[in-house]
Structure 1
Amino acid sequence: MDIRGYETGPIAAEAAFTSDFEIPGDLPVQKLVDMLEIERRSMDIRPGMRHKYTPLRFDSAAGTPQIGGRYLFDTWDNVLDYDDFTSNELEFEEGVKFWDRPFFLDVDRHIWRVTGAHDFTPLATTHHVNRFERWTYDGDAANAARLLEQSWPALRDHAGAAGAASVWLLHQPEEKQIGVLTVAARVAADTPGEAAARSLDALARTPSPGQLLPDALGAAQVFDRTSLILAMWLPESRVLGGAPSAYPAAPVHPLPTVPPQEPLGA
């Protein structure tokens, strides 16, 4: 796949956006993938989006599909623009704002300040599973921001030494929350299904970079979810004439069946 414009190393992003919600179990994954691909074309054109991961997993007890988004943006103003656009303007069904869709269940979303983000390996070939964790804390937000800045180099290096493909450290000062996203490569196995299962298990069992959060924060974990990356939105690649999206979970989950997006300038 021809993915352009994403280099390894530090990521120049000031802001992030995350969402997590459930969808009805009777929604076929093929329909979900096709919906993602078509709706992306109205969403990844918003200013400043670097890329998005769409995670998908199934609740181990009820089997309910759990999905969402992990986005990076260049500036705080642009993540606010995206939040406003999706909350107050965007409609795919007439009269229904995006986040009010009845098949989006228990939506939990946040906008974040990025303390640090780093790609250790190429996004185009090795980003297949992700783990998102959130913590709350009770202290002063300005002091927490300072402590997180001090912690970032060690947290980043810990993730890299553990084999991560990417790691983000996020801060939501108004909500007094901390987020860590860890991305990993696919683990080799004899079949795609076995590879997916091993990859999820390996990342879930890897010691979290969050163990390096300073004790002074008094952080309490409130969320921990490891998922396959069903889709990636790649606006920087699209602008450069490359692939606009990718589907790392294939063939465990299907590729889109909708007509491909015309290359920019075609």
Structure 2
Amino acid sequence: MRSEDFEFLADMLKRRSGLMLTKDKVYLLESRLTPLARNHGLESLEALVQKLRVSRSEALAVEVTEAMTTNESFFFRDNTPFDLFKKHVLPMVEKTNTTKRLRIWCAAASTGQEPYSLAMILKENWFKWKDWNIEIVGTDICTQVLEKAKKGHYSQFEVQRGLPIQMLIKYFTQDGDVWKLNDEIKSMVKYRPFNLLDSYSTLGSFDVIFCRNVLIYFDQKTKSDVLERMRRNLSDQGVLFLGAAETVLGITDAFKPVRGQRGLYVPSAGNVEQLMGF
């Protein structure tokens, strides 16, 4: 790939999605965008870049951005965040939240496995939550993966990745090679397209935010901006879950890590960690 074409795509992707690409990731551009170029009847990636330059097509720019978005997800991924959510976050919410309203945001929700995992945890103890107003919001920049999430249809391979067999039997129905999530769980999650670089003013306030394995693709300035805006959309007794390889240290003072609990962060001002029993 020509250097000027790489620079053009890298700049466009950073502006549109925050994604940082270094030159050692040229292979990613080639592997993900060459099929897109062919779908548009173009002979090469260079031709795709030229079309982007000349036409300034918003639709094509969206396709390119979505093609470069990493969308891997699976049920109960890494286990630890979901154990913390079940054993520490939910008991704290139950004891301290007098409004009986719980809002959870899964940023970069991809094909829905993360928000549906949270929904199943809540459903397992529904006698505690049946009188609560619970809203799980799943967002992603890629509309294609959100459509799959809304359907709640998963392959045998997808349900085998992390989903306990008892939950598979309880909440899914098999139809040939497809496992269909039941409507009761699907109805607990609302999906909407959202770019983490856009304004957060329409999202409202949340008690729990999951933003896992997203910040690793951003530069330091973008990470700081995203985290500080998330803090403004998080209640003072809220919690933030990041990926195991991510941190707030050296990036923002808005959050602090909960000692000994990998990936769990709370507002710097306050005692949320004590309320959770840490």
TM-score, with normalisation over the residues of structure 2? Answer: 0.24
> Higher relative contact order at CA 8 Å, sep ≥6: structure 1 or structure 2?
1
* Higher strand residue share: 1
Larger Rg: 2
| TM-score between the two structures when normalised by the length of structure 1 | 0.25
Structure (1/2) with the larger helix percentage? 2
